[in-house]
Structure 1
Amino acid sequence: MKKFSLLSLAAVAALATEPVTIQKITVEASAPKADGKNIVADEMVKFSRQSDLGEMLSGSLPEITHVRTSAIGNDIVLRGFKKDNLNVTIDDAKVCGACPNRMDPPAMHVSSSQIASVEVQEGPFDVTQFGSLGGAINVVTKDPTKGLHGEVSATLGSYDYRKISTTVEGGNDTVQALVGYSRETSGQYKDGNGKTMTEQAESSTKPYSAAHKNDNAYERQNFWAKVVGNIGDNQKLTLSYFGDRADNVLYPRYPMDALMDDTDMFKAKYQLFALGEYSDELSIEAYHSKVEHDMGTDFRTGMSSVSLVDATIKGVRAENTALIAETEITFGLDLSTRNWNGTKGNRTNPYTTIQIPDADTENIGVYAKALKTLGSFDLSGGLRYDDTTIDADQSLTGMSTTKDRDYTNVSANVLGRYHYSTHGNFFVGAGQSSRVPDARELYFASVGNTNLNETINREVDMGIEHTFGNLHLKGTLFYSDLKDYIYAYKVVGSTTSFANIDARIVGGDITADYALNKEWNIESGVAYQKGTKKDVGQLDSLATLAQTDKDLADIPPLKGRVALVFDDSKNYAEAELIAARHQTYDVNNGEQAIGGYGILNLKYGTELGNGFSLTAGINNFFDRTYAVSNSYIGLTTIMEGAQPLVLNEPGRNFYTTLSYKF
C-alpha cells in the first residue's frame, strides 16, 4: 500500500482513487526533481469525502491553506501567495475561472479521479509559465495504459454526500485511451455548532430566503477523456478533454450563489524524441479552456441581482530540451490570450451594467533554463522575458475612456544544492518574478484601477535536510520582497479599490518523518509565515478611512500536522492532528480575529480481495467549531454592501468508499 520514503512529507493525499504523489519541488537539478517532499497515496488510500484539490493540499502541506467559500471549489494559499500571485495549471495548461470572486478557482477544474500527481513549486523559480510570482502548482493527470482496465467507486458521507465515479482505459502498443465520468451531490454541511451553511449567513445583508435555506449545497458532474498515440519510435501525440458542470452551488461567504458553472478544457501535445545532438525532446502543445459562470441572488431575500461572466484562455507552447556538455538546457516559446467578460443586471436583462469589459490579456514569453551537476553540487538557473498587452473593449457602454495597458518584464533565478554527505544537503536560491494586473483589478466596475503596475517579487529561499537513520528532517526559510504588490483596500464605507504597495512575506517550514518499523510511521510538519506592509502611508494617502494596520491580509497562521500511520500492504490506518494558532489580520480591510484550532482525523482502508477495496474516515472527530480563512474585502467585488463572511469549516463528518477494479 503506502510506500514510506525518506522524502515523505507525512500525509496521505486525501483524494486519490489511484496512486497520487504530491511533490514539493525546492531546487530543480539533473537529479529527479522530486527531491523535496513527497506524499505517496497508494490506490487503496481513497480518503476523501469529496473532490476538492484545495482541501487535499491544505491537509497535506502545512504551508498551504484553503480559502473556504463553499462546500466545493476552495481556493489555495501557498506561503501567503494566492489568486493571480500563484499559478495553478492542469498538465501545464492554464485554466482561468470566470467568477471575479474566485467562486471557481483553477484548482476546482479537475476531477480527483483524474489526478496522478501534484507538483508544488515554491518561490519565484518557474520560468516556464507566465506569472508564477510566488509559486506554481501543477496537476498531472493520468495517462491511459495498455490492455483493458477499469474502476467503479461509490462514496457515501455525512450531510447526504453522494458520489459515483467510473473510469475505463485500454489500448495496445500504438494507441491507448481513457474515459471517465463522476457525479456528486451534497447537502449543506454543518459546523461544530450545528449550523448549516445558510444558517451561518443569517446575519449577513443577503440571507437566504425561506424557500432556499434548506437547498442542497451543490450538484456536479465531471467527464474526461485522454488518447495517447505512439507514432513510430520517437513521436508521441496526446489529446485530452475535461468537462465540468456544477449547478446550484451555494456560496454563503458571498452575497451571490452560482446557478451554473460550466467548464470545457482541450489540450493537444506533440512530442518528438532524439532528433539529434541539439534536441533530446521537442514538444509543441496547445490548449483552450472556457468557463461560463452564472451567479445571482436568486436564493436570497430581496431584489434579484444577476451577474453573467465568462473567461477563455488559449495558448501554445514550444519547448526544446537537449543535453549539451553534461548540462540539460531548455529553450521555450510561450504564447497565450486570456479573455474575460462580465455583465450585471437582473433575470429579465442581465446585461444592464458592464463589470469586466471583454478584456484580452495577450502574452508573449520566451524562456531558457539550465540544469547541471558538478560533483556534490546541483545547479540550475532560469531566465524569462514577457511582453504583455491588456486590451479592454472601449466600444462597450461606459468604457470609452478605459485604458489599455502594456507591460514588459524579466524573470530570473539561480539555485544550488550542496550534498555534504550521503545523508544530507543544503540549498539556497534567489529569484525575481512578476505578474501583471488582471482585468478584474484594472477594470471591474467602480473598483478597478487602470493605473496599476505589475508586481515584482524578489525572493531568497534556503534550507537543509538530513537523514539520521529512520528519521528524516528538512527545514526551509524564505524572504520575499514585494514591490508594487496589488492590494485591495477600503476607500470609504463599502467602497473598495486596488492599489500598489510595497510589502514583504517571510516564513519557513520544518518536516520530520520517523519510521518506527516496517508498518508504523510518524509524520509531522509545521509552517509559519508573516506578511507586512512596508509603509502603511501608501494606502492611508489614498483612502478616506484610516489605513494604519501593517499586517497583510490572507496570511495563514502558524500551522502544524502530526500523524501516526500504520501500513502492512493490506490494511492502512492513520490518526492525524492538524492544529493552528490565531492568525494576524488586517483590521482596516475587513479581517477580524479568528481563534486557533486543533482537529483530529481518523482514516482506515483495507483490501477486500477480488478487486474490491473499502475505505472510511472521520474528519473533525471532536466536532470543533473553527475557521481557516478570514473576511478580507479583497475576496469579493460584488457591491452588495457586505464584506465576505467568515465561514466555519465542517463539523464532525463520516465517509466511506467502496471500489472495484478490474
Structure 2
Amino acid sequence: MNHKKNIQSTYLLSPLALLISGFLSPTVLADDNDLEVIEVHGHAQNKHLSLGSSESLLSNLGVDFSAAGGVSNLPILNGLMGDRVKVLVDGADVTAACANHMNPPLSYISANQITSYKVVAGVSPISAGGDNIAGVISVNSISPQYGESSDLAWHSGYVSAKYSSIDNGRKLGVGARLASDTFSFNYQGSFSDADSYENGNGDVVLDTLYRAQNHSLTAAMRDDKQQLVIKLTHQKIPYQGFANQYMDMTDNTSYGAIAQYKRSFENSEFEGQVNWHSVKHEMGFFSKEKTGMMPMETDSQDISTQLKWHITLDKNSSLLLGQEYYNYRIDDWWPAIEGSTMMGPNDYVNINNGKRERIALFAEYESQINKKLWLNTGVRVERVNTQVDEVQAYNDGMSMMDMGNMSSMSTANNAMAANDFNNADRNKTDTIVDVNLLANYQITLYDELQLGLARKNRAPNLYERYSWGVSNMATTMIGWYGDANGYIGNPELDVETANTISATYSKTAKDDAWRVSANVWYTDVNDYIDANIVRSFNSYGLANTSRNILQFSNVDATLYGAKIDVSKSLYQSKSFGEWVLTANVTSTRGKRDDTNQPLYQIKPLHTKLTLSQQIGLFENALSWEWVDTKSRVDFNRLESQTHSYNLVNLSSKATFNTLTLSAEVTNLFDEFYELPLGGVSIAALKQDSSTGFTQLAGQGRSFNISASYAF
C-alpha cells in the first residue's frame, strides 16, 4: 500500500552563610486560567535565573519525574504517569507525538520562559482540564506587560546563563519586550547543550547528552475591557539521547500558535483560545554511545479551541460554562532500509492517519457559602473518538524464509498481525463524565480543612490502542516506561475511571512562626491500563538480559498516599538574617487489585529537609534529601529494586537589583545512586552486555554557576 504523510535588596555575609545554600524558586504561582496583565514602572524584577527544563520548578510542588531525555522527563503525580497527567502549556493541550513519548508537553517550554505555574494533584477543578485521572500541571509564559506611554518603546529585557560541571552543560536564556499602554511585544528564547553526565562513581552515564532550543514571540493588545494575545513558538532539538530506550531522538522540529481573547462585561467575563501545534519527529541513532540503524518518523498536529463564560451570580458565587474541542492527528512510520531483508522493502506503517478527537462541555459552580465554607463543584461530559487507517508490515514474511525459522516466524507474525488489524474495527467512541466536589472549611483563623471528591476519566491514547506489531523488534519500539520491554496495543481497551478522595489539614501559628500541613488521598481506578505478559525474549542469552513482551490490558487498581509539610522560622536578626527550616515526607503506594502486584514506577518513601537563610541581598540554603529502598516493584515489567540514598545540596543566590548571581553544589558528597524512577540503561547494555540490565544511575556531584541580568 502507499503511505500518505498527513499533518502536523546590605549585609556583610559571614563565611558560614556562604556555605548554606539550596534551591529557592523565584517563580510566582498564579491561576493559569487568568490572562495575567502586569504593569511595570522602571525595571522588572528578574525572574529568569532558572534555565533548562521546568523539572526543577515543578519538583518543589510534589511532581516526580520518570527519567527520559535531558529535556523530556515525564511527570508523575500521586504515582500516576504519562497521559494520566494533564499538562497544559499556556492553556494548550499538546500531545506527545512519539511511540516512546520523547516529546511530551513540558519539553516544549524552558524554565526561563515560565512566568507562572500550578500543580493540582488528584482532585482538580473541572475547568482545569479533562482527560486525566492524576491531576493537572499548568505552566504559563503569557504575561503581557504594558508601559505608561502611548508610544511603543523599549520596555525590558534579560540575559541569563548557566554552567553545570557534571555534564559540561551550557544554558542560555534571552528576552526582550517593547510596550506601550495598549500594546506589548515580547520575544523569549533559550538554548541548552549538554554532554552525557557522570554518576557518583565518576563513570559516564551513556547516551544522556542533548541539545535543544526554544523560541517564542508574543504580541498583545488591550483596552479597558478586553485583551487579545497571539503567541508563536518554534522548537528545534537536533538530538537527544535516551539511555533507557532502544532509540534516540535525531530531530524534533515544531511550530505552534496560540490566540487568547478575554473580554469583561458588567457581570460576566468571556475567554476564548485557539491552539495549533505541528511536530515533525525523527528517531534513530546519532552517537557512538549507542549505535544502530533504524529510522522512525512521526508527523503530527494538535488543533484545539476552548471557550469559557464566567458569570457572576451574586457577590459570593459564580458559574463557569465551557466548551472545548481537541483534534489530534498523527502518522507514524518506519522507513524501509535499502538492502535490508528484515526492514524492507516496504515502510513499516505503525499508525496511519491516526485521529484522536475530544469534544467537551462543562459547568462549574463556585461559592463562598459563608465566612468559613468555600465550595467548588462541577460536571464535565466528553466524547472521545479514536481511529486509524490500514497499516502494513515491512514485508509479507515470504522473503524471510531463508533466514531461519525464528526470523520467518517473527516477520510473518507482523504481516499476519497487520492483516488482522486491518480487518478489525479501528474506530471507537467513548462518552465519559467527570464530576468533582472541592470544599474548604476555615475551622479557626489558624487552621483549615480541605476536602476533595472526584470521578475522573481518561481514554486510551493511540499507541495504547493501535500499536499492532507483535514481533520482538516492533514491540520494543513501543512504550514510554524505560523498562526495555515490548508492548502490543489493544483496540478493545476501555476508559480509565478514577474515584478519588483527598483531605488536607493545615495549621499555622498565631505569629506565623510555623506551619504544618498534612494530606492523605485514596484513588480507586476501574479499568486502569496496565500490561499483561504475552511471552518473554532474550536477545543476549544471559540470565540477566531477559525481557517480556506485554499487551496493554484493563485491570482494576488502587493507589493511596500521604504527605506532611512543615515550615518553622528558627531565628531572625539584623546581623544574621532570617533562618527557616522546611521539611516534607511523602509516601505513595499503588497495586493491581487482581494480583496485589505493585504498580510500575511508584516512588518509595522520600523526605526532604531544607535550612534556608535570607540576609540582605543573599538567599542561602542547605538541603538534605533521603529516598528509601525501592523494594515494591512491578514483576511483569521486570522493574529493578534500588537502594536507599541521601543527597545533600548547597547553594547561594545574590540579587543586586537587576543582576542575580547563583552558585550551587548538587550531590555534595558525590554519592552514587540509582534512580528509582529511571528504568534500565539500554545504552550501557549495548556497550557491555556482560553486566545485563542495570538501573539508570543519577548525577554525581556538580558545581553549577548562573547569572541573569535584567535591563
TM-score above 0.5: yes
Does structure 2 retain, via aligned residues, the 8 Å contact 1:71–1:188?
Answer: no
Q: What is aligned with 2:232?
A: 241
How far residue 644 of structure 1 moved from its aligned partner, in angstroms, is 8.3
Separation in 2 of the partners of 1:622 and 1:592?
A: 25
Partner residue, 1:174? 182
2:55 counterpart SS class: helix
Between the aligned partners of 1:44 and 1:585, the Cα distance in structure 2 is: 44
Aligned twin of 1:99: 98
Contact 1:293/1:309 (<8 A) preserved: yes
1:12 & 1:142 partners in 2: Cα distance? 28
In the alignment, is residue 401 of structure 1 matched against residue 423 of structure 2? yes
Matched, 1:311 2:295: no
Contact 1:343 1:354 in 2 (8 A): yes
**In 1: Cα distance, 2:29 partner to 2:628 partner:** 25
Cα deviation, residue 387, structure 1: 0.8
2 CA distance for matches of 1:85 and 1:422? 36
Aligned residue among 164, 176, 182 for 1:157: 164
Contact 1:385 1:409 in 2 (8 A): yes
The one-letter amino acid of 1:237's match is L
Q: Which whole-Å deviations, capped at 9, do the CAs of 1:440-497 have from their partners, x for residues lacking one?
A: 0001132110000000000101110000231111111101000000013332113221
Shift of 1:579: 1.4
In structure 2, the CA distance between the partners of 1:23 and 1:651, relative to structure 1 (3 Å rule), is farther
1:530-563 CA-to-partner distances (Å, cap 9, x unmatched) read 0011112xxxxxxxxxxxx611111111111111
Residue of 321, 324, 327 corresponding to 1:331: 321
Q: Secondary structure at the match of 1:57?
A: helix
Q: Render the CA deviation track for 1:542-596: whole Å, top value 9, x for unaligned.
A: xxxxxxx611111111111111111134111111111110222112222011112
Match of 1:186 among 165, 189, 194: 194
In 2, the alpha carbon distance for the partners of 1:612 and 1:21 equals: 19
Could you say which residue in structure 2 is the equivalent of 1:138? 138
Separation (CA, whole Å) in 2 of partners of 1:43 and 1:68? 33
Letter of the 2:140 counterpart: V
Q: Distance in 2 between matches of 1:568 and 1:57?
A: 26
- Over the matched positions of the two proteins, sequence identity in percent amounts to 21
Moved more, 236-245 or 341-350: 341-350
Equivalent positions of 1:455-474 (< 5 A) are: 455-468=496-509, 469=511, 470-474=513-517
Partner of 2:375: 379
Pair 1:366-2:361 in alignment: yes
The letter for the 2-side match of 1:243 is: H
User: For 1:560 and 1:514, how far apart are their aligned partners in 2?
Assistant: 16
User: Deviation per CA, 1:199-233, whole angstroms, max 9, x where unpaired?
Assistant: xx7xxxxxxxxxxxxxx811211111111110x32
Distance of 1:605 and 1:436 partners within structure 2: 45
Q: In 2 relative to 1, CA 445–463 (structure 1 residues): closer, same or farther, beyond 3 Å? A: same
SS at match of 1:107: helix
Corresponding position of 2:405 = none
Report the CA distance shift for 1:43/1:656 in structure 2 as closer, same or farther (over 3 A). Answer: farther
Could you say if the C-alpha distance between residues 645 and 449 of structure 1 is closer, same or farther in structure 2, counting changes exceeding 3 Å? Answer: farther
Equivalent residues of 2:600, 2:639 under 8 A apart? yes
Structure 1 residues 66, 433: CA separation in 2 closer, same or farther (over 3 Å shift)? same
Cα separation, 2, equivalents of 1:644 and 1:221? 32
The answer to whether the aligner puts 1:82 opposite 2:81 as a matched pair is yes
AA partner of residue 304 (structure 2): G
- Give me the whole-angstrom Cα distance separating, in 2, the residues matched to 1:346 and 1:339: 23
Separation of aligned partners in 2, 1:296 and 1:445: 21
Letter in 1 for 2:535: V
Q: Residues 496, 177 of structure 1: CA spacing in aligned structure 2 closer, same or farther, 3 A cutoff?
A: same
Relative to the length of structure 1, the TM-score reads 0.85
CA contact (8 A) 1:370 1:380 kept: yes
Q: Are residues 1:533 and 2:592 paired?
A: yes
Give the partner amino acid of 2:638: G
The CA distance in 2 between the partners of 1:43 and 1:246, in whole Å, is: 30
CA contact (8 A) 1:68 1:629 kept: no
The 1:413/1:451 distance shift into structure 2, 3 A limit, reads: same
| Aligned residue runs from structure 1 range 618-637, under 5 A | 618-630=665-677
Distance apart, 1:242 and its partner CA: 2.0
Query: Aligned equivalents of 2:678 and 2:385: distance in 1?
Result: 32
The 3-state SS of whatever aligns with 2:423 is coil
The CA distance in 2 between the partners of 1:482 and 1:363, in whole Å, is: 21
Q: In the alignment, what sits opposite 1:52?
A: 53
CA change 1:93–1:46 in 2 (3 A) is: closer
- Distance in 2 (alpha carbons) for counterparts of 1:524 and 1:23: 23
The one of 587, 604, 608 equivalent to 1:561 is: 608
Q: Do 2:49 and 2:160's aligned partners in 1 also have CA atoms closer than 8 Å?
A: no
Quickly say closer, same or farther: Cα 1:97–1:400, change in 2 above 3 A. same
1:451 maps to which of 473, 492, 502? 492
What does residue range 259-278 of structure 1 map to in structure 2 within 5 Å?
A: 259-274=250-265, 276-277=266-267
CA deviation after TM superposition for structure 1 residue 373, in Å: 0.8
Superimposed CA distance per residue, residues 37-79 of structure 1 (whole angstroms, 9 cap, x where no aligned partner): xxxxx9667665x512234322x13x42111123332111111
Aligned AA (2:329): N
**Structure-1 separation of matches of 2:309 and 2:281:** 37
Structure-2 separation of matches of 1:621 and 1:22? 29
Show CA shifts across 1:594-635 (max 9, x none).
1121101111111346x33211111111111123344669x9
Q: Please, which moves more after superposition, 396-405 or 240-249?
A: 396-405
Residues 600 and 302 (structure 1), Cα distance of their counterparts in 2 relative to 1, 3 Å cut: closer
1:491 to 1:315, Cα distance in 2 relative to 1, 3 A: same
Q: Report the residue type matching 2:73 in the other structure.
A: N
The aligned residue for residue 649 of structure 1 is: 698
- Does the CA-based 8 Å contact 1:24-1:120 persist in structure 2? no
Letter in 2 for 1:342: D
Alignment partners' CA distance in 2, 1:616 and 1:142: 29
Instruction: Flag the structure with larger Rg.
Output: 2
**Change beyond 3 A, Cα 1:13–1:455:** farther
Q: Whose helix proportion is higher, 1 or 2?
A: 2
Residue in structure 1 matched with residue 569 of structure 2 by the alignment: 515
Partner residue, 2:40:
none
Match among 546, 550, 556 for residue 496 of structure 1: 550
Distance 1:650 1:436 in 2: 36
CA contact (8 A) 1:144 1:169 kept: no
Could you tell me how far apart the structure 1 residues matched to 2:514 and 2:437 are?
30
Residue 162 of structure 2 aligns with an amino acid whose one-letter code is T
Contact 2:239/2:251, CA 8 A, preserved across alignment = yes
Query: Aligned equivalents of 2:568 and 2:31: distance in 1?
Result: 19
- TM-score after normalising by structure 2: 0.79
Q: Which residue of 2 aligns with 1:592?
A: 640
> 1:184 touches 1:219 (CA, 8 Å); kept in 2?
yes
Rate the CA distance shift 1:364–1:308 in 2: closer, same or farther, 3 A.
Answer: same
Counterpart-to-counterpart distance in 2, 1:152 and 1:93: 27
What is the CA distance between 1:649 and its match in structure 2? 1.3
Cα distance in 2, alignment partners of residues 193 and 421 from structure 1: 52
CA distance in 1, matches of 2:321, 2:362: 6
- Does the CA-based 8 Å contact 1:359-1:392 persist in structure 2? yes
- Contact preservation (8 Å) 1:47, 1:617: no
Query: For 1:589, what is the secondary structure of its paired residue?
Result: coil
1:108 partner SS: helix
Q: Which amino acid aligns with 2:347?
A: T
Could you tell me which residue of structure 1 aligns to residue 5 of structure 2? Answer: none
Question: Structure 1 residues 576 and 122 mapped into 2: Cα distance closer, same or farther (>3 Å)?
Answer: same
Pairing 1:287–2:252 present: no
- Asked if the contact 1:551/1:586 (under 8 Å) is kept, the reply is yes
Amino acid at match of 1:502: D
RMSD: 2.7
1:152 maps to a residue whose letter is: V
Question: Any stretches of 5+ residues in structure 1 without a counterpart?
Answer: 2-10, 29-41, 202-215, 537-548, 637-641
Counterpart AA for 1:527 = T
**1:343-379 C-alpha deviation (Å, 9 max, x unpaired):** 1245557962112232111111000111111221011
Distance 1:527 1:160 in 2: 32
Match for residue 8 of structure 1?
A: none
